[in-house]
Amino acid sequence: MSQDARLRAVCLAGPSDAGKTSLVEELVERLATDGRVATVKSIHHDIEIDTPGSDTHRHRTAGAETVVGITPTLTFDITTRGKRDPPEPDGDALFESDDPEGRALASTLERLARRGYDTVLVEGFAESPLPTILVGTRAPAAVGGPIVGRGEDPVEDLVETIRSLDGLEGVTDDRSSDDPDD
């Protein structure tokens, strides 16, 4: 990524059933016309996302830390390190965090930036220092980042706000290099 094309990330914070997921859907649709968009969803309880008994589930339960599944139309990876045991960021942390949830988010954003994503919409992780769109009745004091919009703002205004955000410092896209020998 060039200096002016660093990963932009924004958090959508609000209570359950406030409309965060619906807003994420609208934002993704519009932002995807500009470049690659990824989403991160904070889930507060354990769920099984892999079918018990499937080959990928068997690989993971046998002890693989990461399992990658490739189908004719989808590629997915499942890594055993969640919020309770997040990996440490590879380089300079995108933001400092003393709690495992914050480290998990920082590490995830690093990986997405290195994969060449332009924008990440983060649903949840309200305590992160990311620019935040408040959805519903969440109190401004309950979020860790600067408030850059509200869920009731027109979607096009929110899209323009996200497009205008400075990219995150401290991580680069591994696919690009100024060194012609790479």
pLDDT, tens only, 90-121: 555 556 666 777 777 888 888 888 888 999 99
Are 111 and 138 members of one domain? yes
Q: Do 159 and 74 lie in a common domain?
A: no
Instruction: Please tell me the distance from the alpha carbon of residue 144 to that of residue 9, in angstroms, as a whole number.
Output: 14
Q: Look up the domain containing 68 and give its range.
A: 49-82
Give the pLDDT band (50/70/90) at residue 9: very high
Is residue 131 located within the same domain as residue 71?
no
Task: Name the residue with higher pLDDT: 153 or 5.
Answer: 153
CATH number at residue 21: 3.40.50.300
Within this chain, do residues 36 and 70 fall inside the same structural domain, yes or no? Answer: no
Do both 22 and 94 map to the same domain?
yes
Q: 9 and 120 in contact (C-beta within 8 Å)?
A: yes
What pLDDT, on the 0 to 100 scale, is given for residue 77?
78
- One domain, residues 150 and 167: yes
Residues 69 and 94 in one domain: no
Count of structural domains within the chain:
2
Nearest to 100 by CA among 127, 79, 138: 127
Q: Which is it for strands 8-13 and 132-134: parallel, antiparallel or unpaired?
A: parallel
pLDDT of 29 above 50:
yes
> Mean pLDDT across the stretch 33-53?
78
Same-domain check for residues 96 and 78: no
At 123-174, the pLDDT tens digits run 988 999 999 999 998 888 999 999 999 999 999 999 999 999 988 876 555 5
Q: Say whether both 16 and 92 belong to one domain.
A: yes
Do 22 and 98 share a domain, yes or no?
Answer: yes
Could you tell me if 95 and 173 lie in one domain?
yes
| Count of H-run helices and E-run strands, the chain | 4, 7
